Amino acid sequence: MDQRLCRSVLLLLGWCNRIREFYESDKVVAAVCHGPAALVNVKLSDGTYLVAGQVVTGLSDAEEEVLQFTNDMPFSLETKLRGRGGEV
């Protein structure tokens, strides 16, 4: 794994609890482009994923393919969001 990506993932993992606390305090959580990747592993206090049952936007699988991002990303954003119960 690319060292920059590894550091980014570690930083994001440290933010999961902060994002959960923010959301559970009825504050707005938002992200654009590939930003929702930071939300895919956030679990709420009840153990469900933050994105489950939520309408979530981001780059689609088709857009990642057209932009040739598929080889640079550790996972497909649309597929991961759907897998976590997000309504993409």
Q: How confident is the model at residue 2 (pLDDT cuts 50, 70, 90)?
A: very low
Q: Are 51 and 85 in contact (CB under 8 A)?
A: yes
Domain extents in the chain:
3-83
CATH topology assigned to domain 3-83: Rossmann fold (3.40.50)
In the predicted structure, residue 88 carries a pLDDT above the cut 50: yes
In the predicted structure, residue 3 carries a pLDDT above the cut 50: no
**Three-state SS at 3:** helix
In the predicted structure, residue 13 carries a pLDDT above the cut 90: no
pLDDT digits (tens, 9 = 90+) for 16-66: 888 999 999 999 999 888 889 889 989 999 999 999 999 998 888 899 889
**Three-state SS at 49:** strand
